[in-house]
A and B are shown apart, each in its own frame.
Chain A
Amino acid sequence: SQQGEEDPQALSIQEGENATMNCSYKTSINNLQWYRQNSGRGLVHLILIRSNEREKHSGRLRVTLDTSKKSSSLLITASRAADTASYFCAPNTGNQFYFGTGTSLTVIP
């Protein structure tokens, strides 16, 4: 399968804490993206990391990529209640991305 697999499936933290989600995949990739989905809405693109990059930052988001381990992580620092959502990784091996089942993040105020 070319899907990403997110871990954990669910995560609950207090506001202000950091949240870390992991993604594993099985094939060589061109890049990998992370998306957020609020309940009942479409997915929103957060960040893309290319296969030759190891780390990327965007605001409170930090993404790492280890192609030797075929894994990526998404760190959200100083979480807020508004970060409550599902987060998906999507490895890209060609023209399309393959999404996993996501990590459901709950940030408790």
Chain B
Amino acid sequence: NAGVTQTPKFQVLKTGQSMTLQCAQDMNHNSMYWYRQDPGMGLRLIYYSASEGTTDKGEVPNGYNVSRLNKREFSLRLESAAPSQTSVYFCASSPNDDRGYGYTFGSGTRLTVV
């Protein structure tokens, strides 16, 4: 099973450029999430989508937009990249029910903004 697939794995952007990080899951999960991970900061939630057709802000949404394209795909867009957005970005999904399953994470996208 592929699980959660993120593309690209690495990216270097110049300040002011835009890009979209792609995420797709094949587990029929209802909820999807975008996190960023910075040294000493843990994982911080950027945006999440509790179900298809809905999106909500997390802890650090400024500078980002998201699209829940369908149940499988949840993309994260940086409209005008800034050096402060240099980070490792993780997408995750969950069934969002009470069966006791946690999040399934992708392998991450390492983004450097110069």
Contact of A101 with B42 in the complex, beta carbons under 8 Å: yes
Q: A48-B100, A48-B102, A95-B50 are in contact. Are A101 and B108 (CB under 8 A)?
A: no
Q: Chain B interface: which of A12-20, A38-46, A59-67, A68-76?
A: A38-46
Contact of A96 with B58 in the complex, beta carbons under 8 Å: yes
Q: How many A-B contacts at CB < 8 Å in the complex?
A: 55
The answer to whether B45 has its CB under 8 Å from any CB of chain A is yes
Q: Which residues of chain A come closer than 8 Å to B48, judged between CB atoms?
A: 95-96
What is the minimal beta-carbon distance from A97 to any residue of chain B, in angstroms? 7
Q: A41-B108, A95-B96, A98-B45 are in contact. Are A33 and B40 (CB under 8 A)?
A: no
What is the minimal beta-carbon distance from B57 to any residue of chain A, in angstroms? 11
Q: Which residues of chain A come closer than 8 Å to B106, judged between CB atoms?
A: 42
Query: Looking at chain A, what size class is its interface with the partner chain?
Result: 20 to 34
Closest to A34 in B: B102
Q: Which residues of chain B come closer than 8 Å to A33, judged between CB atoms?
A: 102-103
* In the complex, chain B residues 49-107 whose Cβ is within 8 Å of any chain A Cβ: 50, 56, 58-59, 90, 92, 96, 100-107
Query: Looking at chain B, what size class is its interface with the partner chain?
Result: 20 to 34
The answer to whether B31 has its CB under 8 Å from any CB of chain A is yes
Closest to A50 in B: B100
Q: Which residues of chain B come closer than 8 Å to A50, judged between CB atoms?
A: 100
Q: Chain A residues in contact with chain B, CB under 8 A?
A: 3, 31, 33, 35, 40-45, 48, 50, 88, 90, 95-102
Other A-B contacts than A44-B105, A102-B42, 4 sampled, CB-CB below 8 A, are A40-B108, A42-B106, A45-B104, A96-B45
